[in-house]
Homo-oligomer: A and B are copies of this chain.
Amino acid sequence: MKYSGLYVKTQKETPSGEDSRNAELLIKAGFIRKEVAGAYSFLPLGLRVLRKIENIVREEMNKIGAMEILMPALASKEHWSQTNRWDNMGCLYKFETASGTEVALAPTHEETVTPLVQQFARSWKDFPLCTYQIQTKFRNEPRAKSGLLRGREFLMKDAYSFHTSQKDFERYYEIQKEAYTKIYERLGMGGLTHIVAASGGDFSKHSHEFQTECVTGEDTVFFSKKRKLYLNKEIAESKAPEVSYKAKEELPMKEVEGKGVIGVEDLCKFLGVVEEQTTKTLFFITDSGEFIAASVRGNYSINELKLKEVVGCKSLELASEEKVKEMTGAEIGYAGILNLPKEIKVFMDESMDNRLNFEMGANKTNYHTININWGRDLPKPKKFYDIKVAQEGDFDPETNEKYEVFRAIEVGNIFPLSTKFSDAFNFRYIDEGGKEQPIIMGCYGIGISRIMGALAEIFYDDKGLKWPKPVSPFQVYLAAIGRDDKVYKEAETLYEELNKAGIEVLYDDRQDKKIGPGQKFADHELLGIPYRIVMSENTNKEGVVELVNRETGKIEKIKRKDVIEYLKK
């Protein structure tokens, strides 16, 4: 492609209204353009990147025998009601068609693909099978943000597999895992991308995310070196480090009036304690209506996923102010687990243990209790639990090794669905004996446009983007510089040679006095193409070209006649 034929131009100014590095870089380089919040146009070079990502994903899906289809975005209310998600999925765009039927724009396609496959697959002989699409999804995000990372319209690969047994599903799940691993390797982000165990939502205990290390990532990953295990913060088991404050003897317990002192920082100042001495207690109502208390060391938060598991309930809701007052006698902020009626179940995190002289709400409005000590003031529970959100500094309780913690961008996920959707559609297969049996499903997603955003978020420097070769819109940026027509003629020849050799090249053929070498080099750096070839009067004289490596910055002179050979390596 020639630069002169490309109507899109780079821009010097940082675009306004963007909150992410990827959008800023991609917009400046002319790869994308924001149309409405959360929806971008892919401009000629951006579309080239998008298609390369898409094709790598497609090839790996085809290799494992997944069959490509294309389902519509318009989705039926009937199907979404059958799975109970019509009313419960907040991100559904819903509206009426001219004939009065309610429809939604699908943010995921279980409700479409399950009845689809059900139409064709009935016998055990038809299984296992996997089908996928690369399709535009819509998601009514409360706040569109982070450029291509969290949009309201985005391109996604979603695959769905169907199995006659849990065992077969598990076998296939590993095949998908391997295909995903290959995909990230081929995309040039393999070294930074890890398989991370995450919550399984309503469907199963665990799912797996593919998380790419990135300081601006939304997610936090905990790595247990000894177990070679990556865990999403939301499920990482954790053991708190020992408290750092020194206390050797128990001080007398005391109630302190502190009206309006609620925030942890203020409280510490007011009471003269450190945060680790404080205690955070939250009260919940379980799905069976039980009122429970859960406490953690003050510098932690309660992890509801963990708490649900410990309690053994399906859902939890924070108790209302009135309910807390009724049950504890104190307002929220002063309610704690001290002197609670015995019928209220209390769940304490292990971070509560091994402390002296700790603080709690006094269960008396406006009062805090300090210098509480186990046994003397509060009986030690029979069991401490792990019900906290893990944080940096925590230990893997299984290995007693401190976690390595890093921020990451989720670039894919694979998810056991069990029989959640097959049951909803009464989709069963007939086994060899003629009997109906449940079908086990899995789903496997990769955000194609999100990956483009993630790559931009990771591979860049202060001059612009740095695409990995497999997804770069071109392999070579060919710049002819100066005013000598001969240089442009020679560059034109090299341009044709490169095209013939199948090396993708963007030829900056601008022969405009106003556009000097500096501008051309800056454009190359902004665009992030792996190689820049510079041709000038001087290089022509020497019979060489200048080859600049965008990644390393290294500049080499290569004999003009060896260029193609060199680049083909």
Copies of this protein in the assembly total 2
Complex alpha-carbon distance, A7 and B40, angstroms: 35
Residues of B within 8 A of A99 (CB): 37, 142-144
Residues of B within 8 A of A121 (CB): 7
- The residue that A50 contacts in the complex, of B47, B70, B126, with Cβ under 8 A, is B70
Least Cβ distance of A514 to chain B in Å? Answer: 11
Q: Is the CB of B37 within 8 A of A101?
A: yes
Name the segment of A72-80, A222-230, A314-322, A389-397 touching the other chain. A72-80
- Number of A interface residues in the complex (CB < 8 A): 60
Residues of B within 8 A of A70 (CB): 41-42, 47, 50
Closest partner residue, chain B, to A90 (CB atom): B98
Q: Is the CB of A129 within 8 A of B7?
A: yes
Known interface pairs A36-B101, A36-B103, A72-B153; A9-B136 also in contact (CB < 8 Å): no
A301 contacts B by Cβ under 8 Å:
no
A8 contacts B by Cβ under 8 Å:
yes
Residues of B within 8 A of A36 (CB): 72, 74-76, 97, 101, 103
- Chain B CB within 10 A, most for which of A37, A70, A142: A70
Residues of B within 8 A of A384 (CB): none
- The residue that A68 contacts in the complex, of B39, B47, B68, B98, with Cβ under 8 A, is B47
Q: Is the CB of B67 within 8 A of A136?
A: no
A117 contacts B by Cβ under 8 Å:
yes
Q: Is the CB of A41 within 8 A of B101?
A: no
Known interface pairs A98-B140, A112-B41, A120-B9; A35-B76 also in contact (CB < 8 Å): yes
A192 contacts B by Cβ under 8 Å:
no
Q: Is the CB of A47 within 8 A of B72?
A: no
A93 contacts B by Cβ under 8 Å:
yes
Q: Is the CB of B141 within 8 A of A67?
A: no
Q: Is the CB of A140 within 8 A of B97?
A: yes
Known interface pairs A70-B50, A153-B73; A98-B142 also in contact (CB < 8 Å): yes
What 1/0 mask marks residues of chain A from 1 to 22 whose CB sits below 8 Å from any chain B CB?
A: 0000111110000000000000
Complex alpha-carbon distance, A531 and B303, angstroms: 62
Residues of B within 8 A of A97 (CB): 36-38, 93, 140, 144, 152
What 1/0 mask marks residues of chain A from 90 to 111 whose CB sits below 8 Å from any chain B CB?
A: 1101110111010101000000
Least Cβ distance of A530 to chain B in Å? Answer: 22
A43 contacts B by Cβ under 8 Å:
yes
Least Cβ distance of A167 to chain B in Å? Answer: 20
A119 contacts B by Cβ under 8 Å:
yes
A251 contacts B by Cβ under 8 Å:
no
Residues of B within 8 A of A91 (CB): 98
Q: Is the CB of B142 within 8 A of A35?
A: no
Residues of B within 8 A of A381 (CB): none
Closest partner residue, chain B, to A117 (CB atom): B7
A200 contacts B by Cβ under 8 Å:
no
Residues of B within 8 A of A9 (CB): 120
A71 contacts B by Cβ under 8 Å:
yes
Closest partner residue, chain B, to A34 (CB atom): B72
Residues of B within 8 A of A90 (CB): 98
Residues of B within 8 A of A329 (CB): none
User: Which residues of A127-176 have CB atoms within 8 Å of chain B's CB atoms?
Assistant: 129, 131, 136, 138, 140-144, 152-153
Residues of B within 8 A of A215 (CB): none
Residues of B within 8 A of A41 (CB): 69-72, 112, 116
- The residue that A39 contacts in the complex, of B37, B40, B74, B95, with Cβ under 8 A, is B74
Closest partner residue, chain B, to A6 (CB atom): B67
Residues of B within 8 A of A407 (CB): none
A33 contacts B by Cβ under 8 Å:
yes
What 1/0 mask marks residues of chain A from 306 to 344 whose CB sits below 8 Å from any chain B CB?
A: 000000000000000000000000000000000000000
- The residue that A95 contacts in the complex, of B38, B69, B94, with Cβ under 8 A, is B94
User: Which residues of A341-399 have CB atoms within 8 Å of chain B's CB atoms?
Assistant: none
A65 contacts B by Cβ under 8 Å:
yes
Complex alpha-carbon distance, A119 and B11, angstroms: 10
Complex alpha-carbon distance, A95 and B104, angstroms: 11
Q: Is the CB of A5 within 8 A of B67?
A: yes
Residues of B within 8 A of A5 (CB): 65, 67
Provide 7 A-B residue pairs closer than 8 Å at the C-beta atoms, listed in order of the A residue: A7-B129, A36-B72, A38-B74, A38-B97, A41-B116, A50-B70, A72-B153
The 10 closest A-B pairs by CB, nearest first: A39-B72, A39-B74, A42-B70, A41-B71, A98-B142, A7-B129, A44-B67, A95-B95, A72-B153, A36-B76
Other 14 A-B pairs with CB < 8 A, given A37-B101, A90-B98: A5-B65, A5-B67, A7-B117, A7-B129, A33-B119, A35-B71, A35-B112, A36-B103, A37-B99, A41-B70, A41-B116, A42-B70, A97-B144, A98-B143
